[in-house]
Chain A
């Protein structure tokens, strides 16, 4: 209570010696610059290969051509907003079929879950764009400024010509890479050769400049400046990760059962009574996240396995078996600590089987859907105003808008037949009266055609149902639409 009253009370009670203000813990930690050292080994090689494949795919895919016929984009992978279609090699998705995209996202999420419960954060460590581009940017940084020790020295050194050109060169190359990243992004949304040429002649759409600019800046800042902070503070995946991994997942693990007690070792010392970890700090120096894997599983760790490479190299040098840091499960480590034989790693667990089964089901539905995809689609929209009109004869009439989507690359003529109500007559605006209740509807190649229909029926039940049957006489493909017919009692 006394403290809350403030200083004027203190001076009167305790006299001149007011207590020093209590030290508050600073809640804001300044970022510590991380200088990852270059690792050598199996996982570093795998990461180089993955980087080459993912970046290669990203830059090359939009240039692949795929002939689809006259008047249709010939780009293999294209999200065509202007034409309202998505192309993926032999697959074409119309806006009406956006559920395939949803299915693809669900599959991707399930695959991520499955991989995570099997091998931990493989996505984060190897294929996440943030990881790949950061790795690339560090490679550039290393080319200009040298490895860890040289970079640390350079940063500490006063400004000099040497420092300026190295820093400047690095940032210029970073910006060039960033620009190519943003530039390649827009190729997925427009015809690649056209937009690439138009971009430089000022003929590309404004959105192309806008998004190229945004992606350039995000790449430059996220991969060049922010790096591990993106993973630690911005990305939701590390949080979700906690719910997806378990004690049976293969994670990058420091085997403390073997490593502890750690400590530096002199040549003449014996390995008896001590752990294999010689506290050389190599695993910390190569870590792009700036953490110590020996502290155990942690949010910041992206499981890139570079510490495994660093540690293995050290173990070979000091003549101990590799794998002090390795892909291992919590179950196995715990078993060894307790002196039991670690159980074999078993990939078939309830969780992984469930994920795989769900993927199989959704994938199966999608494949089935794609195989049996209709080549045309008919939508019938009943007029809502007026819902119906009463004619002078006492009959009722309803108006309908008919939309025919022709996904075929040839124009064709479909046969429309309306049935379901006794004595109903149909007319299509702009067409001759029907013959035997059938209409021939010409539809354009690869497009949407609209027709306006009027159906007249004698008074009867206020709500009846009409069947619109549309058939391609050549292939026999048929779609049926049930639509309501309204009239007062």
Chain B
């Protein structure tokens, strides 16, 4: 466009685009200089960025994106950061490996380190089932109370974390199997009904006396071998105490019936191999501290 063709708006003195709609024209106000400078700067920056950093995605035949002169890769950076963290932890972890669990718990400095480490490990690995702070849920034992199915000592907890419970992959896992009395036809439905009353009676609640009497020989025959003659449970097979107020799978009659009929053999994976030994030790101390353990 030559100068003669310029259409200057008389009111503002600014050039217009030359288009007219119903007598209304659009001003062709030049862009502010600061804006242009910033814009040019971003273009220059973009070019520099494309040269230095990964920028162009994989084109056909190229295989991968352009790596850029700096060879920057977030994936590699993460790997480096993880290795750095491992190295940083190595010294403290070594101390945990050398000390016994009792020493870790009673030494103030080691205890604070183990609890801090255990807290973060528990949140990442255990809280999904056991809840934050080991609060537990139906079917997932509460770790903050005083009820321990297998072993609540420091060593016992360490063993459970290491080998898991009923983990088919781990040879040393804690194992027991309650029979599926109803489903496998070991007991009649009526017998199970009577057993439910017997268990309710064991835990000190009101129960049908006649049913309890009918169930007494059945309990002695079928249940006492694991849960004990008086129903107090047996640690080495992880058989729970039936006389207390704690019910992992619920304590009402329906829940108890369900448990006897189908059996409940829940699993916990072995953490051996997934977590290093120092982490497992820290976790054992942490879990022990949640409810004071045994």
Contacts and interface: CB of A to CB of B under 8 A. Distances in A.
Interface stretch (A14-22, A125-133, A281-289): A14-22
Interface of A: 3-10, 18-19, 21-22, 383-386, 389-394, 397, 399, 427, 429-431, 442, 449-450, 452, 454
A3 B10 CA distance: 8
A392 B145 contact: yes
Contact of A21 (B10, B131, B244): B10
B204 to A, nearest CB: 10
Nearest to B245: A394
Nearest to B144: A389
Given A9-B23, A389-B291, A429-B289, A397 B145 contact: yes
B259 interface: no
Given A6-B10, A389-B135, 7 more contacts: A9-B23, A21-B8, A386-B131, A386-B133, A390-B246, A391-B146, A393-B146
A429 B136 CA distance: 21
B10 A18 contact: yes
A382 B115 CA distance: 16
A21 B12 CA distance: 7
B20 interface: yes
Nearest to A427: B292
Contact of A390 (B9, B11, B111, B245): B245
Counting contact residues on chain B (CB < 8 A from A), the size range is 35 or more
B108 interface: yes
Interface in B2-31: 7-13, 20, 23-25
A22 B107 CA distance: 86
B9 A7 contact: yes
Interface in B111-136: 111-112, 115, 131-136
Contacts, number: 92
B106 interface: yes
Contact of A389 (B20, B108, B145): B145
Contact of B133 (A5, A7, A8, A399): A399
Contacts of B134: 386
Nearest to A395: B146
Contacts of B112: 450
Contacts of B23: 5-6, 8-9
Contacts of B289: 429-430, 452
B7 A391 contact: no
Nearest to B116: A450
24 contacts: A6-B20, A6-B25, A10-B10, A21-B11, A21-B12, A22-B11, A383-B133, A386-B131, A386-B144, A389-B142, A389-B145, A392-B146, A392-B147, A392-B245, A397-B145, A399-B290, A429-B105, A429-B111, A429-B292, A430-B105, A430-B106, A430-B108, A430-B289, A452-B115
